[in-house]
Structure 1
Amino acid sequence: MSDNPASGANRQVTTSPYGPEDEIGRLNLMSPESRAAVISRIDATQMFDLSVDYFIGMPSWQLLGDPAYQIWMTHTPHGTVIDELPGISREMTEYISYSGDTVMMYTHTGTHIDTLNHYGYNGRIYNNFTEREHLGTRHWRVAGADKMPPIVARGVLLDFAGLRGVDMLPDQYGITPEDVDECLAEQGVEIQLGDVVLARTGRMRAWPDATAWGENPPGLTRAAAVHLVEKGAMIVGSDTVCVEQGPSTDPDNYTPVHTYLLAEAGAPLIEVLDLEALAAAEVYEFGFFAACLRLRGATGSPLRPWAFPFRKD
């Protein structure tokens, strides 16, 4: 294993300190007491929705052939009249205007969370679960979205675009540990154990232009991700397609931040966050609330996160 925190080469998955059956990693840092502490501090009169909406043509991860978001009607008011619903009279279908629809998408589309079975090393994922023993024909039997509890935690915004005085960080800008420390000092906040740390690059200002928003994103380097976890981060998120600097500059790992956070640290990632309003209001610490869909075994899930500022009193 490499001793260089910046290198993603020759790494191995980590055994969880929470026991051989653990499937949620650093989410174990949440407790009834930690949730109560966060809820006791929030100003419920202000709320920031950190998610994007889903629509045909939205930017999404399609580089490796994953499907774009699609939605189509399965029932329409007039269509039910023409199709004749079984056991329902025409008069009733004309009276009852029935609509229904279906959605198809990659589970890593829009604002979403990556689960601990999304990436690993050598056929293993966090806590030494193996592909051979724990992956069926349809989905993983462990560490999926169905195992993730609702998230109630202290949130910290790191506004790197604001720090540099730009609307957006340049293409492929690699956020370093030094950037993290400078941003924390500038904003006057500290990362505490169990925090959800969100990195703003400003890329959401280009949403939904797929090219301007999605290509060559700025983001965390592996060394910065290690630094955040060592400071206490439970979850790391950003306003980009992949949280990390892209494309990777590591010749030995095409996704060094994902593999570190998920396979080594047991820390989920949140991607495609809208952090613009939060940054404009200069809200750098807040109550963070979110829950994913309980998709059994899924490597990711849509997420609807929101933030409440802490009271100033």
Structure 2
Amino acid sequence: MTDALLQVVGSGLEVVDLGRQLRTGMPQSPNHPQFWHTLPRRHGDMVRSDGSSAANDMISTGTHVGTHIDALAHVSYQGSMYGGVDAVASGVGGKYDELGVHTIEPMIRRGVLLDVAGHLGVEHCEGGYEITVDDLEATAKRQGVVVEAGDVVLIRSGWGSKFAEGAPYVGGPSGVPGVGEDGAVWLAEHGVHAAGADTIAFERLAPGGGHALLPAHRVLLVEHGIYIIEALDLEGLAQAGWSEFTLMLVPLNIYGATGSPVRPLAVRPKGAA
């Protein structure tokens, strides 16, 4: 018997890539080590007797650069991580055994795009704009979608269109749009599995405030065990008009790490309405 999933795949799929290309010098949070790529060996450096040669690469990177997912070990509050795990004791030995990124199972889940910028009729929300619960609910209503338990909800502010500009995307002086504590609570009340956005830190950053306060991270990661995906490219998804899709996301299996670069894919059967 042919597997139903194989039948869908065999009939053709439409795929939208939600990941940013990793490049040296790309915009990122100043709190994390930069991505760096170099070629220790180039063609011609060593040539074999038959005239062939090989090139190879080396990369160094923080785990929270480019499009990436935050493991539950990434944030603590008043000394504890999710489930009451002692944050200091857990880090002894230089890895987080209990809540590291290796504990995140590969995601093949219902994805929902909430295109807040599209709903508001703007190219992008202004720097420092807080995406409210009313914004989230009105966007979902306009798109005709219902956020359900276990979903991965992706919130488009339009700020991702600034990624190629570099520093303006990071938004130090201007701030960055995103949900605040209330929006994070709304997501948690809906029982989502993960939440993501097209911005550097997922949640609202106040103008000039940097990463000084991140209440949505506390609500999602520490209080509810909900993963956060940052620096997504949601422009193509919005242009395609997809509100619902299958989200596929697999973190690198780095034992004890607090996060991982990812390349999420939005997938639908070809010709789906």
Q: What TM-score do the two structures reach when normalised by structure 1? A: 0.78
Partner deviation per Cα, 1:2-50 (whole Å, 9 max, x = no partner): xxxxxxxxxxxxxxxxxxxxxxxxxxxxxxxxxx999998884211010
**Distance in 2 between the 1:249 and 1:234 partners?**
31
1:272 positional shift: 0.7
1:58 positional shift: 0.5
Q: Which moved more, 1:114-123 or 1:204-213?
A: 204-213
SS of residue matched to 2:44: helix
Residue 233 (structure 1) aligned with residue 200 (structure 2) = no
Change (3 A) 1:249 1:207: closer
Change (3 A) 1:162 1:46: same
**Distance in 1 between the 2:249 and 2:260 partners?**
12
Aligned counterpart, 2:37: 71
SS of residue matched to 1:198: strand
Change (3 A) 1:47 1:129: same
**Distance in 2 between the 1:75 and 1:117 partners?**
36
Q: Tell me the amino acid that sits aligned with residue 293 of structure 1.
A: L
Partner deviation per Cα, 1:121-147 (whole Å, 9 max, x = no partner): 122110121134321242212211111
Correspondences of 1:56-67 after superposition (within 5 Å): 56-62=24-30, 64=31, 66-67=32-33
Q: Tell me the amino acid that sits aligned with residue 78 of structure 1.
A: G
**Cα root mean square deviation, aligned:** 2.4
Aligned counterpart, 1:5: none
Q: What TM-score do the two structures reach when normalised by structure 2? A: 0.89
**Distance in 2 between the 1:54 and 1:300 partners?**
16
SS of residue matched to 1:47: strand
Correspondences of 1:12-27 after superposition (within 5 Å): none
Change (3 A) 1:61 1:77: same
> Among residues 157, 178, 182, which one is paired with 1:219 in the alignment?
178
Partner deviation per Cα, 1:176-225 (whole Å, 9 max, x = no partner): 11111111111111001100000001112112212222201100111011
Q: Which moved more, 1:128-137 or 1:286-295?
A: 128-137
**Distance in 1 between the 2:218 and 2:207 partners?**
12
1:53 positional shift: 0.4
SS of residue matched to 2:113: strand
**Distance in 1 between the 2:223 and 2:6 partners?**
30
Correspondences of 1:202-281 after superposition (within 5 Å): 202-215=158-171, 216-247=175-206, 254-281=213-240
Partner deviation per Cα, 1:45-86 (whole Å, 9 max, x = no partner): 211010010111100111x3x3221111122222235xxxxx
Question: Structure 1 regions of 5+ residues with no counterpart?
Answer: 1-35, 82-90
> Among residues 5, 21, 40, which one is paired with 1:53 in the alignment?
21
**Distance in 2 between the 1:306 and 1:39 partners?**
18
* Structure of higher CA gyration radius: 1
**Distance in 1 between the 2:87 and 2:249 partners?**
29
Correspondences of 1:166-205 after superposition (within 5 Å): 166-205=122-161
SS of residue matched to 2:246: strand
Q: 1:283, 1:309 within 8 Å by CA — same for their partners in 2?
A: no
> Among residues 22, 46, 49, which one is paired with 1:80 in the alignment?
46
**Distance in 1 between the 2:197 and 2:4 partners?**
24
Change (3 A) 1:41 1:158: farther
> Among residues 138, 148, 161, which one is paired with 2:104 in the alignment?
148
Q: Tell me the amino acid that sits aligned with residue 210 of structure 1.
A: G
Q: 2:76, 2:87 within 8 Å by CA — same for their partners in 1?
A: no
**Distance in 1 between the 2:12 and 2:89 partners?**
45
Change (3 A) 1:77 1:40: closer
SS of residue matched to 1:79: coil
